[in-house]
Amino acid sequence: MNEKKGVLVTGAGGFIGHHLVRRLKEEGYWVRGADLKYPEYESSAADEFEILDLREMDKCLLATRGGIHQVYNLAADMGGIGYITAYHAAISRNNILINANMLEASRQNGVQRFLFSSSACVYAQSKQKDADVAPLKEEDAYPADPEPGYGWEKLFAEELCRYYRKDYGFETRIVRFHNVYGPLGTYDGGKEKAPAAMCRKVALAANHGEVEIWGDGEQTRSFMYVDDCVEGLMRIMASDYHEALNLGTDELVTINQLVNMVAEIAGKKLKVTHDLSGPQGVRGRNSENSRTRRVLGWEPSIPLRQGLAVTYKWIASALSKSHARQPEVMEPAAGD
């Protein structure tokens, strides 16, 4: 191991973690990946990849052993809006254990810098009741009114990072993700986010056919392509800023606009139908990026249509190769 560049990525078997490992290796870092599972669609680029249950303290100590200098703690029990609204107890318990144990193990093993992946689900629900939502500033997380379960445990873990910095002088960084999408992400099974679910739906639909989404489709979100996400993560880790930072675009679209954009990319004319009984999450959510620009001198900038074109091509190809025909599960808006 190059001791000056030893990095641990937890959640390295997941979507963002897999892309981050690949980028870190391109930049010359020695990388250890840890997760409950290997990456789903291609082999990890990590120098070491260990299957570890990070809810257990001894596994966290094992993951952070041997001169790891930086930890990107992306491991989490999470999914799209249908998933995170159905399993509050399990998600909260699993993630609290992961985050608390990873912080303490990193501190004990002399890690120099720890990045915690939080979520836009920490923002006050009262500030997200309109589709034409004002972009959310970092301070809009308080007074606290996050989404049940997933949002509450993320907000508490942010506070725990602050406590560790204050009490132990442990260098922590906090990033709030806003709806990340791209190739190599889950696109079926119930844990997929809205862009991937839309791409799957459109790819499986016949031209002039139908796709169904939850809600009336006028709920709004912004979406960030995974390459921008990885770039932002590395910039935040390298920065001297230790408070929470938004990481997302401010390109706000309705879910109806999202599905129409995917249909145009696919070259299909489709009818959109709506299931008003499905979970929808908050009515509107967008990222306010002025602090991100000030701290990093940068912000995510890949246009949604550009990222969706790459994502749709990959998902359509994967479906074609596997001849997959999954149950009709749809989520109209990503969970975080």
Distances from the Cα of 201 to the Cα of 7, 78, 85, 232, angstroms: 37, 21, 21, 30
Total structural domains in the chain? 2
Least confident residue range of 192-196, 233-237, 241-245, 262-266 = 192-196
Q: Can you give the pLDDT at residue 220?
A: 97
Q: Is 219 in contact with 264 (CB distance < 8 Å)?
A: no
Residues 192 and 237 in one domain: no
Residues 157 and 202 in one domain: no
Residues 138 and 206 in one domain: no
* Residue 293: strand, helix, or coil: helix
Q: Is 54 in contact with 98 (CB distance < 8 Å)?
A: yes
Please tell me the pTM assigned to this model. 0.93
Distance CA 237, CA 174 (A): 9
Distances from the Cα of 45 to the Cα of 12, 33, 332, angstroms: 10, 9, 32
Residues 156 and 27 in one domain: yes
Choosing from 150, 164, 181, 187, which is the catalytic residue? 150
**Percentage of residues of the chain with pLDDT beyond 70:** 95
Residues 72 and 7 in one domain: yes
On the CB side of 145, how many CA atoms lie within 13 Å of its CA?
Answer: 9
Q: Is 34 inside a domain boundary?
A: yes
pLDDT tens per residue across span 277-308: 878 889 999 999 999 999 999 999 999 999 99
Q: Is 203 in contact with 315 (CB distance < 8 Å)?
A: yes
Least confident residue range of 163-172, 240-249, 320-329 = 320-329
Residue whose token pair is 């392509």: 225
Residues 136 and 255 in one domain: no
Catalytic residue list contains 150: yes
Q: Can you give the pLDDT at residue 42?
A: 95
The two structure tokens encoding residue 302: 């890949």
Distance CA 107, CA 293 (A): 30
Residues 230 and 257 in one domain: no
Residues 43 and 148 in one domain: yes
Q: At what angle do helices 304-322 and 194-204 cross, to 10 degrees?
A: 50
Residue 1: which pLDDT band, with cuts at 50, 70 and 90? low
- Which CATH number belongs to the domain containing residue 62 in this structure? 3.40.50.720
Residues 200 and 108 in one domain: no
Q: Which domain holds residue 124?
A: 3-179+223-247
Whether residue 134 has pLDDT greater than 50: yes
* Residue 173: strand, helix, or coil: strand
